[in-house]
Amino acid sequence: MTEYFVDQEKYFFFILLHLNVALCTGITVLIATGTMLIAYLVHICGLFKISSYRIKHAMRESMLQNYSPKNDILILEEIRYAVHLHRQAMKLSKVLVSKFEKMLFCLIAVGVISLSLNLFQMFRVASMADNIGEIFFPSLLAFISILYMFCANYLGQHLTDHNNLVAITVYNVQWYIAPLYVQKLILFLLLENAKDFTLDVSGLFVASLEGFATLVKTSVSYFTVIYSTQ
């Protein structure tokens, strides 16, 4: 509840206007920030996909079978550009997470606490037969918390999958019929993609579908602890 140090009946419409403006401003900021982060992640996924396409295009069969110095230069240029894009995508994603690390950590904590408390409120209201209509609001908040955690972790999983696409493309191209120095470049790419690339927050949480399941499980665990103390 907001405390206004004025006559609330006299200034009812001004108070209502203030509440609506504050609510709309907050929702706009949340949507704008979320949309910006989604746009950045989609852009990074696009860089991974372009890198995968460059490797596949460079190592196509027609280029490898028709040996010539010109084709070798084209293959090397395509692979060099693909490696550059891949490194830029990984660097951009790490910079993005580092800039929003504290905010993301706070959002994770708020999401877990919100889901736990709303689950507790749902069960508490459900146990009171006379107030069953009040279960709608905590149910809505719990659904929003789960949806928010799922979308955030799905984007992290989506980014990891696009990075894995580069490794899959490198494995599937006909690298074995390429010149030896091209094979060495492919080996470098294979070694670079041998390590899993993930979005992690402070080294404590990894954004993935598995991470989403962990958050939900943690929220339910906190809810059972709170509920058992009543």
Which ranges of the chain would DSSP assign to H, the alpha helix?
12-58, 61-65, 69-99, 101-126, 136-172, 180-192, 209-228
How distant, in Å, are the alpha carbons of 120, 123, 152, 216 from that of 138?
A: 9, 10, 21, 16
pLDDT in tens, 171-192: 887 777 777 777 777 777 777 6
Residue 168 has pLDDT above 90, yes or no: no
Give yes or no for residue 217 having a pLDDT over 80.
yes
Read off φ and ψ for residue 201, nearest 5 degrees: -105, 110
**Both tokens assigned to 78:** 């395509």
DSSP code of residue 208: S
- 134-159 mean pLDDT: 87
Question: In this model, does residue 133 exceed pLDDT 80?
Answer: no
Q: What pLDDT is recorded for position 190? A: 74
Confidence at residue 63, expressed as pLDDT on a 0 to 100 scale: 61
**Is there a contact between 25 and 49 (Cβ–Cβ < 8 Å)?**
no
Q: Which two tokens stand for residue 130?
A: 């006379």
Sign of CA pseudo-dihedral 65, 68, 73, 76: positive
Of 87, 59, 61, residue with least CA distance to 182: 59
* Number of other CB atoms surrounding residue 131 within 10 Å: 11
State pLDDT tens for residues 58-93: 777 656 666 667 777 777 788 888 888 888 888 898
Query: Which 3 state secondary structure label does DSSP give 119?
Result: helix
Give the mean model confidence (pLDDT) for residues 3-18. Answer: 78
- pTM of structure: 0.77
| Most confident by average pLDDT, 43-47, 120-124, 161-165 | 43-47
